[in-house]
Amino acid sequence: MTSGLHHITLITRKVQANVDFYAGFLGMRLVKRTAGFEDATQLHLFYGDAIASPGSLVTFLVWEDGSPGRVGHGAPGEIALAIHPEAIGFWLTRALKFGVKTSGPAQEFGEPVLRLTDPDGIIVKLAGVSDLTGTSPWTSREISETDAIQRLHSATIFSEQPADTVAFLTTYMGFTEAAHTDTITRLRSDAGGVIDIRDAGGFWTAAPGTGTIDHIAVRAPDRAHVEAVATQLNEKAHGPTNVHDRTYFYSLYVREPSGTLLEMATDGPGFAIDEPLETLGTELFIPAHFRKDAVDDRVMLPQFGLPGEPRTIYRDLPFVHRLHVADEPDGSTVILLHGTAGNETSLLPLGRRLFPNATLIGLRGRSTGEGVARFFGRFDPTTFDQKEIRSEAEAFEAFMEEATQAYDLDPEKLTFLGYSNGANMIGASMLLHPGLIRNAILLRPMLVLEDVPVADLHGSRVLMVGGANDPYVSYSGALEQALAGAGAELTHKTIDSGHGLSTEDEAVAAKWLRGSNP
């Protein structure tokens, strides 16, 4: 029967660095880009060979600027890609050229292995395999067919219960024991794929996050086989199994006894089901059950460029931030500040609907005193940390100064849009740093400064939108007085809403942007 590795899925923190390593340095083909099947705001990239063969695929969940995980028992710890043994020298030279950290080569189970470290710190081994046949490597001007990555070679599971892990994989996943060392049991499939089980007794447990391997997927011939294995697993009470149609394959998920997440995936229907083989990986696909929100989902997914394509080079600035460049940019930019418990992507959909051709820059608040992202802390719902407001407003001013230069922003075409805590940060920054912000849309704002400085805001335009049923609506008047008293041209609209945003917020803002009275 069909067996072996189907794909291995990892988690990356920076999509552009990931693309540059796997598609650029390693020369793998990007064969599919999709939104997540469970979360449409999560980008999922698939790299493989020239024809996206099962057994060649390395996939990544993109947790852009997400927290790092930890390698330990109960999860995979390394992956390996197969190359011809004589290509080891080519990859040593190429790693030196690209500044990629390496160690080796060394012999592992009789094969030369070169260890590389990817941008997230994941160990990616290149294993020299002498009996490679029937492969379809992706080549380029710099990487020949002889030197190219041929297919997946192996994955290493760190297990605190290695005997139980071995028994599980040999019973249900089509692998057999092939070799042993003092700490590693090597399992091999009839298709040549390898899983190494490393005895990790005494190690710490794995923790999910960026820079880790999420799961290993093994091959199945068809849906009937997947469902038969699911029945077996359920009968033997091996814990919960989940069966899903992933469009490109049908699969089940289960955890082996030590905790590693495994997937069994069918070879078909394959990645050419919705785009031609010649152009695989060029279009972003949104799973069917998310398509009614496809426009909003697309703007929340991080953008990147393949080797040779334009890309945004992110700068290390005072705030974590996300850029989204319009298909036809008009030179304008919108700075977006989320509300409590939001993040840098929260307001991107609203920003894109209001500003179809602007570059959007969403910021992530740095204050996490309540366990969620905010732009400054509070002591109770209406009493705020004055020292932090002022220090974060200074950081925000520094961010704007650096971002203006780094991303070539036109100060005359800047608009600032904030909601709740983010709107309050914009309002405070206008008063503390006059001239920083000239056009602002403030949704559910209030005055948070206890000592309002004297400021000159002549030439600034501000729209404030409050909710009639917002418990904090009565606190917005003080901000209106402070901004208008400083000379800002201010429009204040109260809508039939609570503290949360509604479609009327968008309608009011759109009218204001057109110069109409909302």
Helix (H, G, I), strand (E, B) or coil at 446: coil
Strands 194-199, 184-189: pairing kind: antiparallel
Helix (H, G, I), strand (E, B) or coil at 95: helix
As a whole number of angstroms, the distance between CA 28 and CA 1 comes to: 27
As a whole number of angstroms, the distance between CA 150 and CA 491 comes to: 62
Query: DSSP of 347-415, one letter per residue?
Result: THHHHHHH-TTSEEEEE---B-TTSS-BSS-EEETTEE-HHHHHHHHHHHHHHHHHHHHHTT--GGGEE
418 versus 474: which is more confidently predicted?
A: 418
Q: What is the pLDDT of residue 172?
A: 93
Q: What is the pLDDT of residue 222?
A: 93
As a whole number of angstroms, the distance between CA 300 and CA 51 comes to: 29
As a whole number of angstroms, the distance between CA 436 and CA 342 comes to: 23
Mean pLDDT calculated for residue range 241-247:
87
Average pLDDT, the chain: 94
pLDDT tens digits along 108-119: 999 999 999 999
Give residue 315's identity as a one-letter amino acid code: R
Over 80: is that where the pLDDT of 237 sits?
no
Q: What is the pLDDT of residue 39?
A: 86
Q: What is the pLDDT of residue 37?
A: 85
pLDDT tens digits along 336-387: 999 999 999 999 999 999 999 999 999 999 998 888 999 999 999 899 999 9
Strands 212-220, 261-269: pairing kind: parallel
Over 50: is that where the pLDDT of 1 sits?
no
Reported confidence tier of residue 296, pLDDT bands at 50, 70, 90: confident
3-class secondary structure per residue, 357-371: CCEEEEECCCECCCC
Per-residue tokens: 294: 């496809």
Over 70: is that where the pLDDT of 330 sits?
yes
CA distances from 346 to 84, 90, 360, 491 (A): 46, 45, 12, 24
As a whole number of angstroms, the distance between CA 112 and CA 515 comes to: 68
Reported confidence tier of residue 2, pLDDT bands at 50, 70, 90: low
pLDDT tens digits along 143-189: 999 999 999 999 999 999 999 999 999 999 999 999 999 999 999 99
E strand or H helix at 225: helix 223-235
Question: Any bridge partners for residue 415, and if so which?
Answer: 334
Spatial CB neighbours of 435, under 8 Å, sequence gap ≥ 6: none
As a whole number of angstroms, the distance between CA 169 and CA 254 comes to: 11
Q: Dihedral through CA 337, CA 341, CA 344, CA 345, nearest 10?
A: -110
Over 50: is that where the pLDDT of 328 sits?
yes
As a whole number of angstroms, the distance between CA 443 and CA 396 comes to: 19
As a whole number of angstroms, the distance between CA 468 and CA 194 comes to: 63
pLDDT tens digits along 423-473: 999 999 999 999 999 999 999 999 999 999 999 999 999 999 999 999 999
Per-residue tokens: 6: 């189907």
Per-residue tokens: 127: 């294993």
Per-residue tokens: 20: 């540059």
Helix (H, G, I), strand (E, B) or coil at 279: helix
Over 80: is that where the pLDDT of 9 sits?
yes
Over 50: is that where the pLDDT of 210 sits?
yes
Burial class (CB in 10 A: 0-12, 13-18, 19+), 283: exposed
CA–chain centroid gap for 434, Å, is 36
Taking the CB of residue 99, how many other CB atoms lie within 10 A of it? 7
Q: How many residues does the chain have?
A: 518
Cis, bond preceding 54 (omega within 30 deg of 0): no
Query: DSSP of 449-469, one letter per residue?
Result: -SSPPP---TT-EEEEEEETT
pLDDT tens digits along 44-88: 999 999 999 999 999 999 999 999 999 999 999 999 999 999 999
CB 246 within 8 A of CB 221: no
Question: Any bridge partners for residue 48, and if so which?
Answer: 29
pLDDT tens digits along 13-45: 999 999 999 999 999 999 999 998 888 889 999
Handedness of CA 171, 7, 322, 476 (dihedral sign): negative
Please choose, from the candidates 407, 291, 299, the residue with its C-alpha nearest in 3D space to the C-alpha of residue 346.
Answer: 299
CB 210 within 8 A of CB 121: no
